[in-house]
Structures are given as structure tokens and as C-alpha cells.
Homo-oligomer: A and B are copies of this chain.
């Protein structure tokens, strides 16, 4: 299909925007991995200046003209979808009065600094006035953007297009009920499951070498990516052929780096496997936060923490690991790395209780945005919900309501993606199991049939399909928490003998 000049101009315009994104992403990667500390101030300014240029291009009259002249007027499906993405961005930006947005950006900076201090001092009041303003801004933004059902839908939609409070409220309570029941069963189990037996000095380089082996098994392409050290691990896409991951090592707990790397590797596979025809357009990324998280969690937990995976890899693991593992057989090891132990801190949570952390946040966010509760009530409500859902209570706000950075940057509507990712992952896993014997493949040590399936069904599309469309196409159903509950029940009933 030959492209019109207008279409070519549009694609060239998108490629310009993408060039900015590529260099800005590189700068973010560098900020978090390599930069010497005195270089940070100038680098941050430079990022700010170039980000403003991108913003100008995304909200320019020229962009508006492309949208008006191409939307529903092109025969090229890729261009049509790209235009739709551009329009979403354009509208989202244009509906907020510029002065208000500027004020908001300034507030974000201040709020993050205030949050950091508040968390260190475990003093919510230091953060409260900023959080109040952030909530007010987000309410207003939601109203500018508009919504059909619940005001919170407008915020959700930024991260998980098509997801609504209605759907979440259908799904989450049942999931919560099942998870808390499972948690109870685990609690009451007399099975001997103790993660401390896998802890002990494990040199960083050896952890790294094992993890690299696993990444290669997953078919992560090291000619199109790299692995570096950082403080808060992340995956970042510079372009579809340069998808980098990072990790942090605890030399007394290999789980942080090994499972962290598998997790980021799952994100990275998604991006490396997007079809190159979408390069340099807004379609060349994962379709939503939830689907992205489904990929990282799929690899980290459903594969990486599975029995079959360790049957295939335990001998190799021991060749990298310290001697004390020689005394552990693979079954003991497998149970140890799957211990369930509710924690106060979300990012340290086990597979079973993780989603409960998300529900605490989702319910509070929704009520804040809806005006049902006030910011000042958060610490008490937080602690109550932690007791209700996880059975433990924070000793202070630092390990309670202040633990996550997200609210300090005004990210409301983001948290549900994490729980959605779990559910999506289990749904994909269920379908995959109908099509192939996943456990046998995992035990064979050649994971490529799995990578290929994910590529073919999910990765290659980038943003061409919306999350719920993708889910429907693959699994023939919509969001369904049963698969996650079934997966967890089967796994933990075996480990905990119930």
C-alpha cells in the first residue's frame, strides 16, 4: 500500500517525537544507572527542556491537523491506530488549562520531596497538605477528561484503557475473599515452609551469571538490550532493539536479584518482540500497564517460581550458588522460595498476598477521588484495611500509608494495574495450558515455545489491540479472577498441604 504525502508527513512527525523519547529515555536510564552525582542537576534540567519540546509537538496545531485530516480517513490500519493514540494524548493534554497543568507539575516536584521527608520521619502530616492538593487536581482532571460511570474511571483509563470501577468492583471483592481464605489456610497449615533456609552469602557476580543464563533461556536478546545495576529496578525501552533491564543485588538474599531480573526480563521480552512495523509510532510499546505487568509476573511467578522451572534449573543454579545449597534438595528449595508471609511492604509481598496490598490502595484511592473520605483520614483507614486484608498492622506511617512513591507524583489509578496484571497472567497461563503442556516445556529447559506463544499472541501487537480486546482474543473471555484463584489454590495447597 503506498502512503499519501500526508501519511508520510505524519509518520515523519511521529519519528521526530520518538527521537526525543529515545534520547530522553537514555537520559533516564543513565540517571538511574551510571551518572556521577554532580551531573544530575544539569541532566534533569536538560530532560525537562526536551520533554517540554515533546509535549509541544504532541499538543501542537500541526498534530491537531494530522488528527483531523487522518482520523477515519486513512486506509492504513497502523496509521489509523497511531492517530487514535495521538488523539488520546492530544485531548488529555488540551483539556487541562495550561496554567493549571504548570502548577500541577511544580506541585509534583514539591510533593515528592515532602513525601520523602515524611516517609523518613514517618510523619504523615508533612505530606498531607501536598497530597490534598494532588487529590484535588486529579479530581479536576478527571472532570475535564470526562467519564461515563465513576469519576475514578477517568484516572484508570490513563493506565488501563477500557477498565472501569464497575468491572473492578465486580472482580476485586471475590478475589479478596478467595485470597484471604487461602491466606487463612496457609496460616493454619502445619507444613514446614521456611524461606530462611535459602538465605546466606551468595556473591553478586554469581547471582548475575545465573540470572543471565535464565534470561537467555527466556530468549531475552542481549544484542538488543543489557543488564545493569540500579537502586530501584526497572525495564526501559530506548528503541525496540535496545530494551534494557536493571537490578539490585542483596548478597544475603539471592531472591531479590534473580526473581527481579526474571520480572524485568518479562517486561523486556514484551518490548523486544513488538513488531518492528510499529517502530517510531506510539504503538511501539505495551498496550497497558496491566498487560505489561502480566508479562513480568507471568515470568517471575508462574514460570520462575514454578516446580518445573526449578527441576530444570536447580543443578545449574547450584553450580553458581554457595555450598549450603548442596544440602537442600529441589523440593525443599521450591517450597522455601514460595513461603507465604504477609508483609507490611507491598514490594516485598509474596505471590499470594500481593493483590491484597493493591486492594487496600484501590479502595482508598477510589474513595478519595469520589470524596467519600478525606486525605487526613488515610493513615487510620490504611491501618484498618491492612489488618482486615493482611492480618498485620503497621507500627508507623512510614511502613504504612507513606510506603509508596506513586501518590506523591499524583499517580492515581495506577495501582489496580498490578492486580490486573496478576489476573491477566493467570488467564493467559490457563489458555496456554490448553494449547501446550507448559510444565513439560518448562522442565525441558527450552522455554522458546512459551516465548513464541507470548510473542505471537501478545507482544507483537504493541498497542494495536486494547488490553481487554487482547484478553478476549486470546482467552475467549473477559476479566476473570477464577484463573488466578485456581492457580494459587493449586500451587499453595500442594506446598502447604491443605
Contacts and interface: CB of A to CB of B under 8 A. Distances in A.
Pick from A15, A224, A225, A239 the residue with the most CB of B within 10 Å. A239
Contacts of A47: 19, 23
A239 B39 contact: yes
A18 to B, nearest CB: 7
Contacts of A279: 42
Q: Copies per complex?
A: 2
Contacts of A26: 23, 26-27, 30, 43
A49 interface: yes
Interface size range on A against B? 35 or more
A86 interface: no
Interface in A220-278: 221-226, 238-242
A34 B223 CA distance: 11
Contacts of A43: 22, 26, 238-239, 242
A240 B41 CA distance: 11
A241 B22 contact: no
A45 B14 CA distance: 13
Contact of A36 (B20, B42, B222): B222
Contacts of A18: 46
A38 interface: yes
Contact of A42 (B30, B39, B239): B239
A147 to B, nearest CB: 36
A48 B226 CA distance: 23
Contacts of A37: 223
A39 to B, nearest CB: 3
B15 A45 contact: yes
Given A36-B223, A223-B36, A238-B39, A46 B27 contact: no
Interface in A1-56: 15-16, 18-20, 22-24, 26-27, 30, 34-39, 41-43, 45-50, 53
A34 B224 contact: no
A24 B34 CA distance: 16
A16 B49 contact: yes
A231 B318 CA distance: 36
Nearest to A242: B39
Interface in A110-159: none
Contact of A241 (B30, B41, B46, B222): B41
B19 A240 contact: no
Contacts of A222: 36
A459 B404 CA distance: 45
B225 A36 contact: yes
B19 A23 contact: no
A223 B34 CA distance: 11
Contacts of A23: 23-24, 26-27, 46-47, 50
Nearest to A21: B46
Nearest to A17: B49
A35 to B, nearest CB: 6
Contact of A223 (B27, B38, B50): B38
**A-B CB proximity, top 4 nearest:** A39-B242, A42-B239, A19-B49, A38-B241
Given A20-B46, A36-B225, A37-B223, 12 more contacts: A19-B45, A20-B50, A22-B43, A22-B46, A23-B47, A23-B50, A26-B27, A36-B222, A38-B223, A41-B241, A42-B240, A42-B279
20 contacts: A15-B45, A16-B49, A19-B46, A20-B46, A23-B26, A26-B27, A30-B30, A36-B222, A36-B224, A36-B241, A36-B242, A38-B221, A38-B224, A39-B239, A39-B241, A42-B241, A42-B242, A42-B280, A43-B238, A43-B239
Interface of A: 15-16, 18-20, 22-24, 26-27, 30, 34-39, 41-43, 45-50, 53, 221-226, 238-242, 279-280
